[in-house]
Chain A
Amino acid sequence: MIFSFDLLFEAVLFGVLLGCFYAAVSIGLSVSFGLLDVPHVAHPALMVLGSYCTFIVAGWGLDPIVAGVVLMPVFFVLGVLIYRFYYETFEKRGTEAGVRGLAFFFGLAFIIEVGLILVFGVDQRTVQAPYIGSSLALGEYRLPYRMLVAFGVALCLTVVLTLYLSKTFTGRAIKAVAQDEPALRLMGANPVRIKQWAFGIATGVSALAGAMLIIVGPVEPALDRLYIGRTFCVVVLAGLGSMTGTLGAGLILGISESIVLMMFGASWAPAVAFGLLLVVLGIRPQGLFGR
């Protein structure tokens, strides 16, 4: 083991950047799974779809981040349609909806994966941007720009979603639907429409997360499988539905993983992350930032 305080400081720096990236790819799931209780295992697949759409739009000369933002409304509509279909065919029909919904979203993930293979093949896809492949030098330290971009996007998403959920009527209704659906109905709001809207937001966010994914590294159609465990881990660790908690949990996961990778044994990194989840759930079943 190599140890120095310089190295430890750098590990924490890399961890913050990595953690923000984890938060950026998990925040959409925090809305759909954390707030709406929808077992959305297709979230990473939609993110990978977002990456491929970013690849296409960036090919027209747009910056990948701008491409991700441009795609958000399209994905919002896609999310609304997906939720409507899920609601009509599964959720509306009773208490077994959760289990059957899980099958629906697994199916959706497979369809997206196979569709991407048919259209794009299995080769990896990357995008070009001035901030990909170079780094910011701060004395001895070098910070990859692509990770700094992930850092910025995660902060923006967290702030915007937190403000939206707490300051707007629809945002508060989304939070309310997670807590007490009949009460929301008594207030004159339609819970299905609110959930549809929220799922649209979660899917729209996954377009931007997809752009982050292809900026941070190359993507291939089956990449979603790598992120199912990790994104759910962040959301559960955070406490379901907490946006700032998602950022906090992402940071904890990223920093612990980075320190283990750099200073201890790299093989231990996944064990540390998921071990941390087990310990936290043992002490606080509602998650670190959950109520």
Chain B
Amino acid sequence: MKASRRNALKAGAALAAATAASTTFPRFAIGQSGPIKIGMSMPQTGSLGAGGQAALLALRMWVEDVNKRGGLLKRQVELTAYDDQTNPANVPGIYTKLLDVDKVDLLIAPYGTVPTAPIMPMVKQRGLLLMGNFSFQVNAKVQHDMWFNNSPWNDASSWSDGFFKAGQSAGAKTVAVLAADNDFAQNLANGARTLAKQGGIQSVYDQNYPPTTTDFSSLIRGIRAAKPDMVFVMSYPNDSVAIIRAVNEIGVGPSVQIFGGGMVGLQFTPIMTSLGSLLNGVLNYNSYVPGMKYPGVEDFLQRYAVKAKDAKVDPLGFYLPPFNYAIGQIFEQAVAATKSIDQKAMAAWLRANEVKTIVGPIRWNKDGEWANARVVQAQFRGIADKDTEQFRQTGKQVVVYPDAYKTGSVITPFEKARSAK
């Protein structure tokens, strides 16, 4: 027994040495003429996995496109992405491996606030440029000056402002807040609470639910008992589905004017298709809905749809993919302008300049968030069951905020909005 264990250990050590040799020696041989390596962790399984896989497909499309154009600084681009399983505990280890073992040249953050938060201290300490990927306020406290987010929001009010304005226009005076017990939802909930206080809106229900919650019937019943005028929900995909179902079964009561706000997942095609008509009336944030005009976005989405079908990922890809493709465009412009992959030089250039992307022009504020937020609050209307293609039409998600992209007014109360066409 002992002998076989010793043999196994020897074999393992030999295998590890062989693997290390095979990955190390070619790098010395290639040197600076080798590919430019971009590394990241991405949730490809777990609750953010569906979004993560779609986002990764978009990034790979950019890599393919840029390599066709001759790469960056005449060097081909390579993307290394590891699955963090939507588990923040896995992320620091992955980034340490990317930096110290894979020796990547540039970093992209994983999709989402929860997986990104653990690596912020490390990138600040090492002085690295990090492209944010739809995370929310992870740099608010860290204040790393080489952080640039790709998401269309900045502070908490930029996300919830549209929702609260819609509620106030319907005469709402009270709010119920239901938030997941994680970084993203808590940051957003704090912003919502501040906005409520500033607007003189009384909070009549305020709960943080744990991520292990199986059934939301009890929570929705609690909200109904509080009789709020609006219900602001901040949830992750699995919870969002369960909450929408529970609302349909239990009801939130006639007092509610608007429902939704910050529910992640209601932007993902498989979830939108499976919920179908249950979505009607929900007013929720989004990054892009059909009808919004950005140069190049429609062409990208057509190409994406073909690849998404083969890759079995989100077939529409409105929410994350265009913004992930934009990350590549941001790198491309910064490298071209500075003629290097020096991260400090690239960060300095990005702080001072505007970049052109398929999600519109982007300029960053001192926190590395968009200087001009563009979060959309859209109301689902006339959604039928089991029909994915309907979401490509304009009017299925009516933009009520911001005014620049407005395609209609919010319908209230919530019960009436659920049957509106």
Decide if the interface of chain A is mainly helix, strand, loop or mixed: helix
Give a binary string over B231-244; 1 marks a CB under 8 Å from any A CB, 0 the rest.
00000011001100
Do B246 and A144 touch across chains, with their CB atoms under 8 A apart?
yes
A14 interface residue (CB < 8 Å to B) = yes
Do A218 and B274 touch across chains, with their CB atoms under 8 A apart?
yes
Q: Lowest 9 CB-CB distances: which A-B pairs, in order?
A: A122-B49, A262-B218, A135-B249, A266-B209, A123-B270, A261-B218, A144-B249, A121-B312, A266-B207
Give a binary string over B190-229; 1 marks a CB under 8 Å from any A CB, 0 the rest.
0000000000000001011110111101110110011000
Q: A217-B245, A261-B222, A262-B222 are in contact. List 17 more A-B contacts (CB 8 A).
A: A2-B226, A11-B218, A123-B270, A126-B241, A134-B248, A142-B249, A144-B217, A144-B249, A147-B215, A217-B215, A217-B238, A217-B242, A218-B242, A218-B271, A221-B45, A261-B209, A266-B209
Bound CA span A126–B246, Å: 15
**Which of B49, B213, B221, B222 is within 8 Å of A220, CB to CB?**
B49
Take A267-B208, A267-B209, A270-B210 as given contacts and tell me if A14 and B47 are in contact as well, using a CB distance cutoff of 8 Å. Answer: no
Bound CA span A226–B314, Å: 24
Bound CA span A226–B212, Å: 7
Take A144-B250, A218-B274 as given contacts and tell me if A124 and B238 are in contact as well, using a CB distance cutoff of 8 Å. Answer: yes
Take A7-B222, A124-B237 as given contacts and tell me if A270 and B212 are in contact as well, using a CB distance cutoff of 8 Å. Answer: yes
- The size class of the interface chain B forms with chain A is 35 or more
A222 interface residue (CB < 8 Å to B) = yes
- Closest residue of chain B to A230 (Cβ to Cβ) is B212
B278 interface residue (CB < 8 Å to A) = yes
Do A14 and B207 touch across chains, with their CB atoms under 8 A apart?
no
- Closest residue of chain A to B271 (Cβ to Cβ) is A124
B residues adjacent to A (C-beta < 8 A)? 44-47, 49-50, 52-53, 85-86, 181, 205, 207-210, 212-215, 217-219, 221-222, 225-226, 237-238, 241-242, 245-246, 248-251, 268, 270-271, 274, 278, 312-314, 386
Counted as pairs of residues, one from A and one from B, with CB atoms less than 8 Å apart, the total is 133
Greatest chain A CB density within 10 A among B85, B86, B238 is at B238
Take A142-B249, A216-B214 as given contacts and tell me if A10 and B313 are in contact as well, using a CB distance cutoff of 8 Å. Answer: no
Greatest chain B CB density within 10 A among A113, A134, A142, A229 is at A142
A4 interface residue (CB < 8 Å to B) = yes
Taking the closest CB of chain A, its distance from the CB of B103, in whole angstroms, is: 28
Taking the closest CB of chain B, its distance from the CB of A201, in whole angstroms, is: 25
Do B245 and A262 touch across chains, with their CB atoms under 8 A apart?
no
Give a binary string over A205-229; 1 marks a CB under 8 Å from any B CB, 0 the rest.
0000000000011101110001001
Do A133 and B248 touch across chains, with their CB atoms under 8 A apart?
yes
Do A142 and B250 touch across chains, with their CB atoms under 8 A apart?
yes
Take A230-B212, A266-B213 as given contacts and tell me if A218 and B221 are in contact as well, using a CB distance cutoff of 8 Å. Answer: no
A-B residue pairs in contact (CB < 8 Å), sample of 16: A4-B225, A14-B217, A121-B50, A122-B49, A122-B53, A123-B270, A124-B274, A126-B241, A128-B386, A142-B251, A217-B238, A217-B242, A222-B47, A222-B49, A262-B222, A266-B208
**Which of B46, B217, B221 is within 8 Å of A7, CB to CB?**
B221
Taking the closest CB of chain B, its distance from the CB of A79, in whole angstroms, is: 25
Taking the closest CB of chain A, its distance from the CB of B255, in whole angstroms, is: 14
Give a binary string over A257-276; 1 marks a CB under 8 Å from any B CB, 0 the rest.
01001110111011000000
Bound CA span A128–B212, Å: 24
Give a binary string over A1-41; 1 marks a CB under 8 Å from any B CB, 0 the rest.
01010010011001101100100000000000000000000
- Closest residue of chain B to A3 (Cβ to Cβ) is B225
**Which of A122, A133, A222, A229 is within 8 Å of B245, CB to CB?**
A133
Bound CA span A21–B215, Å: 10
Do B50 and A122 touch across chains, with their CB atoms under 8 A apart?
yes
Do B219 and A266 touch across chains, with their CB atoms under 8 A apart?
yes
Taking the closest CB of chain A, its distance from the CB of B82, in whole angstroms, is: 15
Bound CA span A230–B211, Å: 13
Contacts of B249 in A (CB 8 A): 133-135, 142, 144-146
Do B251 and A7 touch across chains, with their CB atoms under 8 A apart?
no
- Closest residue of chain A to B205 (Cβ to Cβ) is A2
A56 interface residue (CB < 8 Å to B) = no
Take A14-B221, A124-B270 as given contacts and tell me if A261 and B213 are in contact as well, using a CB distance cutoff of 8 Å. Answer: yes
Taking the closest CB of chain A, its distance from the CB of B264, in whole angstroms, is: 13
Bound CA span A40–B339, Å: 57
Taking the closest CB of chain B, its distance from the CB of A209, in whole angstroms, is: 13
Give a binary string over A121-151; 1 marks a CB under 8 Å from any B CB, 0 the rest.
1111110100011110000001011110000
Taking the closest CB of chain A, its distance from the CB of B311, in whole angstroms, is: 8
A117 interface residue (CB < 8 Å to B) = yes
Bound CA span A218–B278, Å: 14
Contacts of B181 in A (CB 8 A): 267
Taking the closest CB of chain B, its distance from the CB of A228, in whole angstroms, is: 11
Greatest chain B CB density within 10 A among A124, A229, A230 is at A124
